[in-house]
């Protein structure tokens, strides 16, 4: 998924001198770790230029140097690197990432830094380009690295499990939830096309998502007919959460779950999933508008 956004007057630009972040009043210049390579002029197409940069980007970096590097500068390099990855062929990107990971694993401290930078670039809230597959490659290499203490791996073991549970095409795990009436229910893929919104009833974007689904006539008709299920689940609910769910459609499955945040990738609020008729993750971390469009298209509505 590619995330594009402009908010709060924030400027994010890649310049020859490094990454510039900040606003009109204050800017921070992050000096690059090395001179970023530029594709030769003889390569004309966007795809081939992108592939050249992906394949050659990290060659100027000295991986034999001992110790660590500046983490901000490394994060900046990953941000620049992720741009051409969006147009490069998957096999070119995978080969380049494997080479980068292999080069960094010889230095445990650098391997940890690379994994942190990969999280910032491919997984975190500031990422421009989300790629579970790319991030998992770094996590898997770190978990296999015997030079890295086990206590440094605990968080990444959890993240790896969550991401594998919920990759597109995976069968998502079942989870228990409590209804506002105090009845325990279990969600498990059951062959019915399901849209799940994980969120907080008090958050503006969650209310917006609910309103979009409730006011889309054709989507609501599918819900009324039982053609699709819609769920609204509060992860890690706090005291009094039951009252916040008053007024939700009685055709929806609603409740709070103490365990779902340890099973599902919930990096945003709200997080929207689509589980298809085969019980597989069809999409995740998508705008509610996209979920509605995908659902209506599925049923030719």
51 CB-contact burial (10 Å; exposed 0-12 / middle 13-18 / buried 19+): buried
Give the max Cα distance, the chain.
67
21 and 137 part of one domain: yes
Q: At 226, is the pLDDT very low, low, confident or very high (cuts 50, 70, 90)?
A: very high
In this predicted model, which residue has the larger pLDDT, 49 or 8? 49
- Percent helix, strand and coil across the chain, each to the nearest 5: 40, 15, 40
179 and 160 part of one domain: no
- As a whole number, the mean pLDDT across the chain is 89
Quote the radius of gyration of the chain (alpha carbons, Å). 22
In this predicted model, which residue has the larger pLDDT, 8 or 152? 152
Domain boundary among the residues 165, 200, 222 is at: 165
Q: Which domain holds residue 141?
A: 11-165
In this predicted model, which residue has the larger pLDDT, 30 or 51? 51
209 and 113 part of one domain: no
Question: Is 170 inside any structural domain?
Answer: no
What is the pTM assigned to this prediction? 0.83
Share of the chain above pLDDT 90, in %: 81
Domain boundary among the residues 146, 165, 184 is at: 165
Judged against a pLDDT cut of 90, whether residue 1 lies above it is answered with no
Which DSSP letter does residue 24 get?
S
pLDDT tens-digit map of 241-280:
999 999 899 999 999 999 999 999 999 899 999 999 999 9
């Amino acid at each position: 998924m590619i995330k594009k956004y402009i908010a709060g007057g924030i400027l994010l630009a890649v310049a020859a001198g490094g990454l510039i972040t900040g606003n009109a009043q204050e800017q921070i210049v992050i000096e690059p770790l090395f001179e970023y390579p530029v594709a030769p002029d003889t390569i004309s197409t966007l795809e081939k230029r992108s592939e050249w940069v992906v394949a050659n980007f990290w060659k100027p970096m000295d991986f034999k140097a001992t110790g660590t590097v500046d983490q901000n500068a490394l994060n900046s390099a990953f941000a620049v690197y992720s741009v051409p990855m969006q147009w490069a062929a998957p096999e070119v990107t995978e080969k380049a990432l494997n080479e980068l990971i292999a080069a960094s694993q010889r230095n445990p401290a650098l391997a940890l830094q690379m994994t942190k930078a990969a999280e910032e670039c491919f997984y975190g809230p500031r990422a421009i380009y989300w790629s579970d597959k790319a991030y998992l490659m770094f996590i898997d290499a770190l978990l296999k690295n015997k030079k890295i203490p086990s206590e440094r791996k605990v968080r990444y073991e959890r993240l790896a499990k969550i991401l594998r549970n919920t990759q597109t095409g995976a069968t998502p795990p079942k989870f228990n939830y409590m209804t506002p009436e105090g009845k325990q229910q279990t969600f498990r893929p059951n062959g019915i096309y399901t849209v799940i919104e994980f969120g907080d009833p008090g958050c503006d974007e969650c209310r917006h998502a609910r309103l979009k689904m409730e006011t889309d006539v054709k989507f609501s008709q599918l819900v009324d007919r039982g053609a699709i299920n819609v769920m609204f689940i509060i992860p890690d609910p706090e005291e009094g959460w039951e009252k916040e769910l008053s007024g939700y459609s009685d055709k929806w499955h609603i409740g709070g779950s103490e365990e779902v945040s340890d099973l599902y990738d919930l990096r945003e609020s709200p997080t929207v999933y689509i589980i298809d008729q085969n019980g597989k993750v069809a999409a995740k971390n998508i705008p509610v508008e996209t979920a509605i469009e995908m659902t209506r298209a599925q049923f030719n509505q």
